[in-house]
Amino acid sequence: MLEVQNVFAGYCKDINILQGISITAKLGNITIVIGANGVGKSTLLKTVYGFLYPHKGRIYYKKENITGMNPFLMVAKGISYIPQQHSIFPFLTVEENLMLGGWTFRKNKNLIQHRMSENYERFKILGEKRKADAWSLSGGQQRMLEIARGLMTDPEMILFDEPSAGLEPRLTGEIYKRLEKLKFEEGRGIILVDQNVRQAMEVADYVYVIEMGKNKIEGTRRDFNADLKEMIKGWF
């Protein structure tokens, strides 16, 4: 599992966006982190993945201290990060984008081909468009390409920031179906941050609500069913 323990972090030395946050995410589960805009959800993922070094607190993965570890080392630990902003290379083909996802083992041509074949099986449309430039894909297809590229390293834990950003509801639903398959069929763990609370709740195993960089409440999806509407209303 991945554990965040009492972490304080921010973008300036004396200003903490995260104010002692703690979460636990298990493999084979989808853990979601929800809250109003600006409460530190994306900051949390960036801190876990080593883009930010916490001012206080510790982060563990499978009981190993990974606090502040460089992002390129996270790949070897079995952790992948898919950012909120689209990060594909638009003027490279789908296949070239996937190959870049395997950069850390680029000399192993057989493994590169094997992982690409796995992704073409997961995402049939990417296989059909493998020679197309990435910019020509729809928004949902580009998101699928980002997921596929993140899977090139065969991660056990995926950090996913705002998968529904800029997508219409139908496409968002398709992305969430893909994430559920990664959990159910492949046993991967997912930590998910999203403003689309209702759809995120539909796939969640465990939920953390944060407020002003602090834990507010947590529980299983069932625990939140009755109070979700009032919770969202309070944020807006």
Tokens of 13: 């030395």
7 lies in some domain: no
Q: What CATH number does residue 113 fall under? A: 3.40.50.300
- Check if the beta carbon of residue 45 is closer than 8 Å to that of residue 159: yes
78 lies in some domain: yes
Phi, psi of 128 (to 5 degrees): -70, -30
3 lies in some domain: no
C-alpha closest to that of 149 among 204, 203, 75: 75
Measuring CA to CA, how many Å separate 148 from each of 84, 85, 165, 208? 15, 16, 17, 26
Query: Read out DSSP for 90-150?
Result: TTSBHHHHHHHHTGGGTT-HHHHHHHHHHHHHH-HHHHHTTTSBGGGS-HHHHHHHHHHHH
pLDDT tier at 229 (50, 70, 90 boundaries)? low
16 lies in some domain: no
- Check if the beta carbon of residue 11 is closer than 8 Å to that of residue 184: no
10 lies in some domain: no
Structurally, how many domains does the chain consist of? 1
Q: Which domain holds residue 154?
A: 28-51+69-235
- Check if the beta carbon of residue 19 is closer than 8 Å to that of residue 8: yes
Look at 79 and 202; give whichever has higher pLDDT.
79
Q: Which residue type is seen at 73? A: L
Q: Which residue type is seen at 86? A: H
202 lies in some domain: yes
143: pLDDT strictly greater than 80: yes
C-alpha closest to that of 168 among 193, 202, 141, 140: 140
Give the span between the Cα atoms of 71 and 81, in whole angstroms.
9
Q: For the whole model, what pTM was predicted?
A: 0.88
Give the span between the Cα atoms of 34 and 195, in whole angstroms.
7
pLDDT in tens, 87-122: 899 999 999 999 999 888 888 999 999 999 999 998
189 lies in some domain: yes
* Residue percentage of the chain with pLDDT more than 90: 62
pLDDT tier at 16 (50, 70, 90 boundaries)? very high
Look at 170 and 13; give whichever has higher pLDDT.
13
59 lies in some domain: no
